[in-house]
Structure 1
Amino acid sequence: MLMKKSLIALAVAGALAAPMVAQADATLYGSLRVMVVDQEDSELNVADNSSRIGIKGSVDTGIDGVKAIYRGEWKVNTADGADFGAGRLAYVGLTGGFGTAAIGQQWTPYYTFVTGATDILDGKSTAPTQDVFRTGNAIAYVSPEMGGFQGALVAIADDNANGEDVDAYNVAAKYSVAGFTVGASLLTDEASDNDMTAVSAAYAAGPLYVAALYQDKEAADVKQWELAGSYAFGDTKVLANYIDFDNDGNGFGLEVQQKLGKQSRVFANIYEVNDDAEDMGKKDAISVGMRVDF
């Protein structure tokens, strides 16, 4: 009899908890990525490839058409130790017909609107010119899409005693029509008076994707450009990129990806650089790996 009462109590508790979980609308997600890398002048290495686990969702605000959003995401070390690493994302905000406003550590529009256009490979040759992905201490606004146009503004304020209320700004815009997308972004560091600008153009049509990126990094006096593209043959995709690192340094990557269902794939990548790029610390590499998303 006692066991029956316990089972009934558990059933009632489950029934009461279910609507609360549904109302929270939380999603657990992740991407576990591991690769084996054979890099010039180095020994064979098993490496994590930007694995992450996160939770995101939205809740009702009681305001018509407006939801409160939240997201937390952390690095995961799949190669050694299997431990959680530093946080990647952690923010809250509001979203509705006016767009999205959020506070916390977020993706920069410098990446999501512009430089991410060429970040399409899984292997060692991916994102070779990119060093701006996410930022903390951010107050961000992203407009709704209006006839193919979308804009974004981020102010970064981290109280680092440099005499500036706002330490950096990132403004970006993009326009999409008929498979073409063009984007531009300016990132200004008020404390160091340093600017970074980037422009990109991309075209997608069925199995074909091509993109170009140009960056001007003022403080380093570096001007870089990159080309990337892919073509899919069913579950197989062939990808390539060419990178000009400035100062006569350049390189290229070739990759083949094979889908294993809808949420996993394997890849093989070869990355070659010239002597000038090697003088900049770049290295030839071959990498193979697997990625599982959930």
Structure 2
Amino acid sequence: MKLKSSAIAIAVAGALGASMAVQAESGFYGSVRVGLQYLDTAGESNTTVRGYASRFGFRGETDMGNGLTGFGRYEFGVATEGTGPNVTRRHAYVGMKGDWGSVILGQTYHTYYNFISGPLDNPWWGSGDAMLAYTGRTAQAITYAGSFGMVAVGATAYLDSSSTDASDKQEDLDGYELAASIQAGPIKLGLGIQDRGNDQGAGDPDSEPTVGLTASGWETGMFTWGLGYAQQDNEGVGATGTANSIVFDVQIANGYVHYEMLDMDTGGGPGDSPTALTLGYTQSVGRQTTMWYEVEAYDADTTVSDDDATIVRAVLKYDWK
């Protein structure tokens, strides 16, 4: 009986050890971000306590052998005020990777963001307000990413049953993104194209793709510079021009300056050329605890002064993992 009990104990210990080995490759993490916001529109101002994308998540990866690794991630946004949904989905994907690159299926940042928008998306909050066809996390996609020396490539296909052809039948491919980057000395150059039927001017499903170009990572002393340009043909919505945007971003030690200018080229009417300028600073105040501060000036380029805004943010962030 003692021998049998010992054998059972050893088996249980082995099972627990194997379980712990698997768990060691996964993790639970979170970030709570709450702060003050001062908003001034046309001389009317208010100050509120609000959340700034607090989240928690689970991720892990496992060595599958033969040079392959399986991985997955769930991440959920958590609201800290208001009456809307308290928990929302941010990331939900599964994938495999190896020497050949990686394949991801699900919702996350995909090709166009990773190569074009992301390298210049440095503000904690004040970004994307005057950027052409800004795309963050997107769902129902499959993405390949790989690197070959100084060159990196990516491709995304959207399969979400959202598009139809001329006879109102569903398309097999609902959107795509393609991009490549190369490390040219101190600067990383990226070129990408995105076609998701999201025309910047009026949401025309027959709009032309957005093409973007970025130059980022150029370091001179304490400065790190980045510049981006994107354009999209406006003819699909009856306009005669081409919508375009310029993004300028510079990081200065723990601070940053971020500027966006959008020209929708719709004939110079209200809202044709909004701009946004964000100044920010990040301060470490202790272990796993950070404060960040931003001042954003947004000009909507309309005749309504209420559309313009000056926003000041001071946010406390605590992380665990």
TM-score normalized by the length of structure 2: 0.77
Q: Which residue of 2 aligns with 1:228?
A: 249
Tell me the SS of whatever aligns to 2:309. Answer: coil
For the structure 1 residues 168 and 279, does the alpha-carbon distance in structure 2 shift closer, same or farther, using more than 3 Å as the test? farther
Tell me the SS of whatever aligns to 1:269. Answer: strand
Q: 2:277 aligns with which of 227, 249, 252?
A: 252
Q: Which residue of 2 aligns with 1:88?
A: 90
Identity of aligned residues (%): 22
Q: Which residue of 2 aligns with 1:155?
A: 157
Q: Which residue of 1 aligns with 2:4?
A: none
Q: CA deviation at 1:10?
A: 10
d(CA) in 2 for partners of 1:70, 1:21 = 18
For the structure 1 residues 11 and 110, does the alpha-carbon distance in structure 2 shift closer, same or farther, using more than 3 Å as the test? same
Q: Which residue of 1 aligns with 2:195?
A: 188
Residues 1:284 and 2:291 aligned together: no
- How big is each residue's C-alpha offset from its partner over 1:171-219, in whole Å with a ceiling of 9 and x where there is no partner? 1111124431111211113692331221111124374311111122445
d(CA) in 2 for partners of 1:58, 1:84 = 28
Q: CA deviation at 1:67?
A: 1.3
- How big is each residue's C-alpha offset from its partner over 1:79-119, in whole Å with a ceiling of 9 and x where there is no partner? 45797422111111111011101211121211111111221
Tell me the SS of whatever aligns to 1:276. Answer: coil
Q: CA deviation at 1:11?
A: 11
What are the ranges of 5 or more consecutive residues in structure 2 without an aligned counterpart? 1-7, 165-169, 198-203, 264-271
d(CA) in 2 for partners of 1:14, 1:289 = 46
8 Å CA contact 1:117–1:212 kept in 2: the answer is: no
8 Å CA contact 2:80–2:86 kept in 1: the answer is: no
d(CA) in 2 for partners of 1:127, 1:10 = 58
Residues 1:198 and 2:198 aligned together: no
Q: 1:270 aligns with which of 291, 295, 302?
A: 295
Q: CA deviation at 1:12?
A: 8.7
Q: Which residue of 1 aligns with 2:223?
A: 208
Tell me the SS of whatever aligns to 1:129. Answer: coil
8 Å CA contact 1:118–1:127 kept in 2: the answer is: no
Q: CA deviation at 1:278?
A: 7.6
d(CA) in 2 for partners of 1:207, 1:67 = 37
- The count of aligned residue pairs is 279
Name the amino acid aligned to 1:141: Y
For the structure 1 residues 186 and 275, does the alpha-carbon distance in structure 2 shift closer, same or farther, using more than 3 Å as the test? closer
For the structure 1 residues 186 and 289, does the alpha-carbon distance in structure 2 shift closer, same or farther, using more than 3 Å as the test? same
For the structure 1 residues 255 and 160, does the alpha-carbon distance in structure 2 shift closer, same or farther, using more than 3 Å as the test? closer
Q: Which residue of 2 aligns with 1:3?
A: none
Larger radius of gyration, structure 1 or 2? Answer: 2
Q: CA deviation at 1:165?
A: 0.3
The equivalences for 1:90-169 within 5 A come to: 90-123=92-125, 125-130=126-131, 131-143=134-146, 145-160=147-162, 162=164, 163-169=170-176
**Over aligned residue pairs, what C-alpha RMSD do you find?**
2.9
Q: 1:69 aligns with which of 61, 68, 71?
A: 71
Q: 1:242 aligns with which of 252, 259, 274?
A: 259
TM-score normalized by the length of structure 1: 0.83
For the structure 1 residues 160 and 267, does the alpha-carbon distance in structure 2 shift closer, same or farther, using more than 3 Å as the test? closer
What are the ranges of 5 or more consecutive residues in structure 1 without an aligned counterpart? 1-8
Q: 1:43 aligns with which of 2, 23, 46?
A: 46
d(CA) in 2 for partners of 1:83, 1:165 = 32
d(CA) in 2 for partners of 1:147, 1:71 = 28
Q: CA deviation at 1:156?
A: 0.5
For the structure 1 residues 81 and 175, does the alpha-carbon distance in structure 2 shift closer, same or farther, using more than 3 Å as the test? same
